[in-house]
Structure 1
Amino acid sequence: MNADISVCIATYKRLDRLDALLGDLLAQHCLPREIVVVDNDAQGSARAVLARHQSAQSACPLIYDIQPEKNISLTRNRTVALASGTWLAFIDDDERAPPDWLASLLASAQAHHADGVLGPVLPVLPDDAPAWIRRGSFYDWARMHTGTPVPANQLRFGNLMLKADLLGRIDPVFDPRLGLTGGEDGDLLMRLVKDGARMVWNDEATVTEPVEASRLQLRWILRRALRGGQDFARHFLAGRLQPPSLRNRAVFFARALLQLLAAGLLSLLTLPAGRHHSAYWLGRACANFGKLSVLWGWHYTEYA
């Protein structure tokens, strides 16, 4: 019998990556109840990929739908609406899952009485990645001991399982206003934690993600840092992290300004020690600029 888990995938024109991921999911030791794929390409380019994996003898149904408006929130909301499992596992369409991925998430949720479980996403750099990129660890996320409650500033999607009934009480689940800027995943998880949901870490439930050549650039690293700063500031202003009182707001943005200036200076001072050191501090400067930029209403639409 399959586990009562629906795997939810929002996809957009990553046909080869999606094809490999579906192969991984259909080879899980703990097969899911179903795999739900919602295509954000209005032309339905992913339909043929699913057709190659679906057969009458398949032990795991594949559910496919199209969400034509370019908006990651609406696309993820559609996956949730189509899913019928008690648990919903979310994985990005360019990631790879080892055979024990789902079993590990489920075991951790049961062992730690969790409402949600997050796991590591390990970046895989191409062989020709520049040396400064390899030294910089720009694509790594913080890791914790298994069972550790996940701090609010580390909540994100990409490798996650949630109780479905948590989302059944929310409408909309993912905020469509964040569908082009990103940050919809952290926004949802922070709302759930604020309402009492228990999110824990599972350091063994790893997935991998290839780093595309287009991301092996300082420009991409700085833009992603800027967007992360904007996301963090919006979460703060929405009261996800602490009450956004006038005093707290003043402290938050004053600290962002000071950190922007300090990081900018350090990016210059550390350049002789290596480009990766300087790039790290430039990223910190961009993140803090991103925080400040919400004061005049600018949103970097990464997914536009």
Structure 2
Amino acid sequence: MNISLCIATYCRPERLTVLLDDLVHQEHLPNEVVVVDNDATGSARAVVERRRVLGAPFPIQYDIQPVKNISLTRNRTVTLASGDWIAFIDDDERAPAAWLKQLTETVIRYSADGALGPVVPIVPTDAPSWIRHGRFYEWARMKTGAIIPLNKLRFGNVLLRGALLRDTQTPFDPDYGLTGGEDGDMLGRLVQQGARIVWCDEAVVHEPVEPARLSLRWLLLRALRGGQDFARHRLTGRFGHLTSTGRARLFLRALLQSAIAIGLALLSWPRGQHRAVYWLLKASANLGKMSIFLGWHYREYEGKLT
């Protein structure tokens, strides 16, 4: 399989360094690696040049996309990629040696157009106990070969047939470029067009959780954005046609569920902070759904609500 491995990066030179080190040891090597830097100053250039000097068993393309927008940056990686298949991995993840091989074997075995794998968080041992007990950074996992539900589609560890992404000049919608959610939107559109995307539970990558994310505030805002992503996708028909009645039900259900979650958070607090935070995150996600009806968007990559 001719594979281009794409990395969108922004101001993470240390993380990018170790990721590139991982990639040279893959059991199934990519045919090329494409790095697109969303930092206009080119902070990743030295990292790529270092890897080239040390040597790599594949060419590494490097480019800068200066406008702060994750969608434009990912789109640039697709434009530069020449492979029949395109893999994506985030710049803060670690890839075990068998990772890409396991993704390729899965798309072949299940005659799929793409495969997603788990991103396993590495929580620091000195993180607050409620964070370590809460497992807030983990995603649901499935049996290898399972078709992934629309509301579980996400990025960070994925291999896709390149032709699916080249059917449009903007596979990732720039409207999601500052809020996030561009990955679920793009994958959802591919599935609606008939793409078969399956799960590969063996193709694990690891994501060290950054200190800035070890806080209730960060978790609440991420849950809020997740709720907003769901509502945006629902309202635009990603999960099927939505009538006016369906829109009203979506809002009222989110209102009811947020109220219930807040009540359960208060009741759960004596049994452990992590249990209460679980319900607070549910409340925040439902508040996010409602906020879309008011035209509010949390721009995660700018750190503000507009």
For 1:301 and 1:181, the matched residues in 2 are separated by 4
For 2:211 and 2:32, the matched residues in 1 are separated by 32
Which of 100, 111, 116 is the aligned partner of 2:98? Answer: 100
- Mark the CA change 1:57 to 1:272 in structure 2 (over 3 Å): closer, same or farther: closer
For 1:59 and 1:302, the matched residues in 2 are separated by 36
Which of 247, 250, 253 is the aligned partner of 1:249? Answer: 247
Alignment of 1:214-229 (within 5 A): 214-229=212-227
Q: Deviations over 1:32-73 (max 9, x none)?
A: 000000000000010000011114964200000000000000
Q: Secondary structure at the match of 1:193?
A: helix
Q: Structure 2 counterpart of 1:99, which letter?
A: A
Which of 140, 146, 161 is the aligned partner of 1:148? Answer: 146
For 1:53 and 1:14, the matched residues in 2 are separated by 15
For 2:45 and 2:85, the matched residues in 1 are separated by 25
Which of 182, 188, 191 is the aligned partner of 2:189? Answer: 191
Q: Please say if 1:287 is aligned against 2:291.
A: no
Q: Secondary structure at the match of 2:140?
A: coil
Q: Structure 1 counterpart of 2:280, which letter?
A: L
Alignment of 1:1-304 (within 5 A): 3-55=1-53, 58-304=56-302
Q: Structure 2 counterpart of 1:122, which letter?
A: V
Consecutive unaligned residues of structure 1, counting only runs of 5 or more, are none
For 1:224 and 1:56, the matched residues in 2 are separated by 38
Q: Deviations over 1:99-121 (max 9, x none)?
A: 01110000000000111100000
Q: Structure 1 counterpart of 2:157, which letter?
A: N
Q: Deviations over 1:57-105 (max 9, x none)?
A: 6420000000000000000000000000011000000000000111000
Same amino acid, percent of matched pairs: 60
For 2:74 and 2:7, the matched residues in 1 are separated by 7
Q: CA deviation at 1:242?
A: 1.9
For 2:69 and 2:31, the matched residues in 1 are separated by 27
For 1:195 and 1:293, the matched residues in 2 are separated by 29
Q: Structure 1 counterpart of 2:168, which letter?
A: I
TM-score (norm 1): 0.98
Q: Structure 1 counterpart of 2:238, which letter?
A: R
Q: Structure 1 counterpart of 2:7, which letter?
A: I
Q: Structure 2 counterpart of 1:265, which letter?
A: G
For 2:180 and 2:30, the matched residues in 1 are separated by 27
TM-score (norm 2): 0.97
Consecutive unaligned residues of structure 2, counting only runs of 5 or more, are none
For 2:270 and 2:80, the matched residues in 1 are separated by 53
For 1:217 and 1:86, the matched residues in 2 are separated by 41
For 1:102 and 1:270, the matched residues in 2 are separated by 42
For 2:135 and 2:259, the matched residues in 1 are separated by 23
Q: Deviations over 1:139-193 (max 9, x none)?
A: 0000000000000111000000100000111231100011000000000000000
Q: Secondary structure at the match of 1:70?
A: coil
Q: CA deviation at 1:244?
A: 1.4
Q: Deviations over 1:244-287 (max 9, x none)?
A: 11121111111111101100111101000000000000000000
For 2:268 and 2:169, the matched residues in 1 are separated by 47
